Structure 1
Amino acid sequence: MEDIHIERRDSIAHVILNRPSVRNAVTFAMWREIAATFSALAGDRKVRGVVLKGAGKDFSVGADISEFETVRDERHQSAAYEVAVDTCSGAIAALGKPVVAAISGYCLGGGCHLALACDFRFGDHTATVGIPAAKLSIVYGLQSVQRLLALTGVSNAKRILYSADRYSAKEAASMGLIDELHEDPGLAADEFLRRLAVNAPLSIAGAKYMLNGLSSDIGGLDPAAVQRLIDEASDSEDFKEGRRAFAEKRSPRFRGA
């Protein structure tokens, strides 16, 4: 079975993360495939909206950490991995059509990264949202931090990133991580997008482009300094310890180096 499955329902496309046996953990190849999928949807005039969701009970537990030893072992591999991740989220955000993440179950780390790139996030009562980067000695990517900040505000963004905690659907909604709660978020997203589909596509595309741009002012940051912090974390012993602890199902013992 393909890891990314696409269902077309009239003018709405459903992009489905299709690894339910591992809670839809996203592989390196999948980041690239999702990017290609959304780039292709950009040129499909019949598609007026997209629902992004996971197969089974979960949206996504995030990046597939089991493959990090081979695809994200040090700063150079980490840099290539982050390019793939950012290209993926960039393709979602740049799609000139509304995109709704339909969230059930776990939406963690890289899964949250995908949801943040969408225009809206609909969840149900089972949704559990969090970013466990601080438990793995990973510096979360700049684009995702910017999106997190725009949605939640600086205090909540710091709480989410510093604590690496998981938040219930109700807590996530109060923080701005989830926009609406529904019994069936996939169905609600589909119905919502059908209402939007009768409006002018060029109007929506123009509004999306401007709003995304206005909410992403990162001009005050030094990109080189940001990359240095990401590289130092990627090359650290703490990153290796985080992966070992995850695999061994124990609490990590970090030393800050």
Structure 2
Amino acid sequence: MSDILVDNKDGVAVVTLSRPASRNAVTYAMWRQLADLFRAFDGDPSVRSIILTGAGNDFSAGADILEFDAVRGDLEDSKAYEVAVDAAGDAIYQVSKPTIAALRGYCLGGAAHLAMSCDFRIAESRAIFGIPAARLSIVYGISATRKLYSLVGATEAKRILFSAKRFDAGKALDIGFIDEIAEDALSAAHDRAAELAENAPLTIAGAKFILNGCARGALDHAAADRLIDEASASHDYIEGRQAFKDKRSPRFLGQ
């Protein structure tokens, strides 16, 4: 059975971390698979929005520390491991489709990086968050730390990273780490994903590219202009205008 399950229905792809016996701890192989998977979503027109979640009672307890002796035992292995982690997070962050993390139970360490890489984070009230890098003598990676800073600001990011303490969903909502608490996070994520899947893919892709660039302080203006021009010259722009005139819902194709 695969450690990562994918189900695509009605334009919504659900990606499930599936190692419930290990609280969905992410292995080195899974980091690499996640990167490949989300890169592939970019070119798949059948996928309009994406949900990332975990099997069983948890999103994920983070990286599988039990395999560190084998896959992250020395400096060179650690560098390669961090490259794989960042590749997975950045593939999620950069995919042109809207992404939603549905969080229950543990969301710790590297799993927090996965959640922060999504556009939205919906958590159940009993979800538990934390980044225990300071208990392992690991410096949380640049890409992940930048995302944390962008969400919660410098002071809260320092508190989370320096203390290694866990915090609950209420605190996560207060500081901006998550954006919604729901009784059933996966159901709420499905509702939002379905709603977003109906909107113009070119608009979402362009807005996401510009907003992510602004958040990172490194917006590629030429690339942004190309996305703006592509939307203005698209079939979907014609369709959107005609649907407005006809007083009906538009049928966007992403082209």
TM-score range, shorter chain: 0.7 to 0.9
Within-5 A mapping of 1:218-229: none
Deviation at 1:9, TM superposition (A): 2.1
Please tell me whether residue 166 in structure 1 is matched to residue 166 in structure 2. yes
CA deviation string 1:142-193 (max 9, x = no partner): 0010000000011100000000010011111111111100011111111111
Once residues 190 and 49 of structure 2 are traced to their aligned partners in structure 1, the CA distance between those partners, rounded to angstroms, is 8
Once residues 86 and 114 of structure 2 are traced to their aligned partners in structure 1, the CA distance between those partners, rounded to angstroms, is 10
Larger Rg: 2
Amino acid in structure 1 at the alignment position of 2:121: R
Please tell me whether residue 96 in structure 1 is matched to residue 96 in structure 2. yes
Q: Which residue of 1 aligns with 2:24?
A: 24
Q: Which residue of 1 aligns with 2:4?
A: 4
Within-5 A mapping of 1:82-231: 82-217=82-217
Q: Which residue of 2 aligns with 1:254?
A: none
- TM-score, normalized by length of structure 1? 0.84
Once residues 87 and 206 of structure 1 are traced to their aligned partners in structure 2, the CA distance between those partners, rounded to angstroms, is 21
**1:82 alignment partner, SS class:** helix
Once residues 172 and 34 of structure 1 are traced to their aligned partners in structure 2, the CA distance between those partners, rounded to angstroms, is 25
Once residues 77 and 19 of structure 2 are traced to their aligned partners in structure 1, the CA distance between those partners, rounded to angstroms, is 24
**1:126 alignment partner, SS class:** coil
CA RMSD of aligned residues (A): 1.1
Deviation at 1:121, TM superposition (A): 0.3
Deviation at 1:36, TM superposition (A): 1.0
CA deviation string 1:43-84 (max 9, x = no partner): 110111000000000000000000101111121111100110
Q: Where do 5+ consecutive residues of structure 1 fail to align?
A: 219-257
Once residues 121 and 129 of structure 2 are traced to their aligned partners in structure 1, the CA distance between those partners, rounded to angstroms, is 11
Amino acid in structure 2 at the alignment position of 1:8: N
Once residues 217 and 156 of structure 1 are traced to their aligned partners in structure 2, the CA distance between those partners, rounded to angstroms, is 20
Report 1 or 2 for greater relative contact order, CA contacts < 8 Å, sequence distance ≥ 6.
Answer: 1
Once residues 119 and 214 of structure 2 are traced to their aligned partners in structure 1, the CA distance between those partners, rounded to angstroms, is 14
Once residues 12 and 159 of structure 2 are traced to their aligned partners in structure 1, the CA distance between those partners, rounded to angstroms, is 35
Q: How many residues are treated as equivalent by the alignment?
A: 219
Once residues 217 and 200 of structure 2 are traced to their aligned partners in structure 1, the CA distance between those partners, rounded to angstroms, is 27
Percent identity of the aligned residues?
Answer: 52
- TM-score, normalized by length of structure 2? 0.84
**1:215 alignment partner, SS class:** helix
Amino acid in structure 2 at the alignment position of 1:141: G
Once residues 198 and 16 of structure 1 are traced to their aligned partners in structure 2, the CA distance between those partners, rounded to angstroms, is 23
Once residues 83 and 143 of structure 2 are traced to their aligned partners in structure 1, the CA distance between those partners, rounded to angstroms, is 11
Q: Which residue of 2 aligns with 1:251?
A: none
CA deviation string 1:95-154 (max 9, x = no partner): 101000000000000110100100000000111011000000000000010000000011
Once residues 50 and 196 of structure 2 are traced to their aligned partners in structure 1, the CA distance between those partners, rounded to angstroms, is 11
